[in-house]
Structure 1
Amino acid sequence: MALSPGAVEFGRDAPSHATVAAAEASVDAMKYRVDAEKLTVSEAMMEALAEEEGVMLTVYRDVAGYPTVGVGHLVRPADNLKVGDTITYEQAIEFLENDIKHAEEAVKRLVGDLPLYQYEFDALVDLVYNVGEGNVSASESPKLNAAMKAGNYEAIASQLHYHTAAGSKANGLVYRSERRQAIFSEAAYGDPRPIEISVSGEVSA
């Protein structure tokens, strides 16, 4: 069962925690780079992530064959779930918020004292959420880590691509990578997928 990403509610009262974090830093993190420790993922990124992952209430196998549910939550033994099981909407949101928290902490470990704009932080959280912390380690992503150490933001952006799953190129990951790079470089959160309208008026991505 899938829910429309636009219907996702994240259970966060206004103002968002990203806004609060920026206020505590006494700066606008969309205009000035700040210590990543002061940032949490924005609501815009949460919505973009939900669009990319979808919201599935039945456990399925992702393109790499891993049991997955909710908003791209990788099923773990502790979840006590198997393919075909269903969860509640509330469980999906709980999984999402916990996974986001882990991704945020992983990004903070990754960047160290490198200051970031809110949207740069968001893009890196999406990367970790999508590929896992292990795949952005110094051994697995040496160019990304070298760019971090050098403070080379353009080089960081160039390393945010991730196109394969189970050894095969996946178009969905290509588009997601383009979106991630656009978020990091331009604060552009929109979906880059081309929209096609057939002669009968049907819309498709």
Structure 2
Amino acid sequence: MTVSTAAIDIDTAASQSGFEQHIDASEIRVDARTLQPSEELKEAMIEEEGVRLTVYRDVAGYPTVGVGHLVLASDNLAVGERISEDRALRFFERDLAKAKRVVVDLVGDVRLYQHEFDALVDLAFNVGEGTLSPDKSPRLNAAIAARDHDKMVEELSYHHAKGSVANGLVYRSERRANIFVDAEYADPRAIDA
């Protein structure tokens, strides 16, 4: 799908004049810097990650808590410790903000639909910034540089944790691709059942 020149001109003129205009990012690709993770994405991520208030080790063995929050030294938490729901929510919002910054840095001036942005935010949240670097994800970076949205979706799959295929990551990648291509946020496991 292509964006009409008129739509681009309206968006560009609005941003240059300082006049903020509501543009529906489900119907037109926009500057990623103007987007926020959608509520649909947040619900899908919570469904994928779960909400765990006790620090545990994820499939890769990393201490994790809340909604897939990788425990940092600055969090002062150890495996087995509990946190409040409020703290889990704060971690989630902070991690989402970081994933958004990673996506904005990654895509630069490539325009995205809301659902494409959401899929990339999920990817950044799930695999981390380092995994999306040009060295570790050269084909994704090349697809973004070429503004090739079809190639981008081909690079959204990450199935391995600590060198082994993790079934949860296989489904997560399928869900991410469905979000990117069709704005379909539903769990593919529920559809397959």
Code of the residue aligned with 2:179 in structure 1: it is I
Structure 2 Cα separation of the partners of residues 184 and 73 of structure 1? 23
* Corresponding residue of 1:86: 82
Specify every segment of 5 or more residues in structure 2 that has no aligned partner in the other structure, as ranges: 1-18
Question: Normalized against structure 1, the TM-score is what?
Answer: 0.83
CA shift digits 1:52-109 (9 cap, x unpaired):
0000000000000000000000000000000000000000000000000000001000
CA contact (8 A) 1:34 1:116 kept: yes
Q: Percent identity?
A: 58
Give the equivalent residue in structure 2 for 1:77: 73
Identify which of 3, 6, 31 aligns with 1:35.
31
Say which structure is richer in helix: 2
Correspondence for 2:167: 171
The question of whether the paired residues in 2 share the 8 Å contact of 1:29 and 1:118 is answered with yes
Which AA in structure 2 matches 1:154? D
Are the aligned partners of 1:25 and 1:38 in contact in 2 as well (CA < 8 Å)? no
Deviations 1:18-59 (A, max 9, x none): xxxxx9443110000000010010000000000000000000
Deviations 1:138-182 (A, max 9, x none): 010000000000000010000000000011000000000000000
Correspondence list, 1:180-191, <5 A:
180-191=176-187
Partner of 1:147: 143
Cα distance in structure 2, aligned partners of 1:42 and 1:195? 22
Partner of 2:15: none
Q: Secondary structure at the match of 1:59?
A: strand
Structure 1 residues not aligned, in runs of 5+: 1-22, 197-204
Give the superposed CA RMSD.
1.4
Aligned length, in residue pairs: 175
**Alignment partner of 1:58: what SS?**
strand
Per the normalisation by structure 2, the TM-score is: 0.88
C-alpha distance in structure 1 between counterparts of 2:70 and 2:147, whole Å:
32
Judged with a 3 Å threshold, the aligned counterparts in structure 2 of structure 1 residues 172 and 25 are, in CA distance, closer, same or farther, namely: farther
State how 1:54-203 maps to structure 2 within 5 Å.
Answer: 54-194=50-190
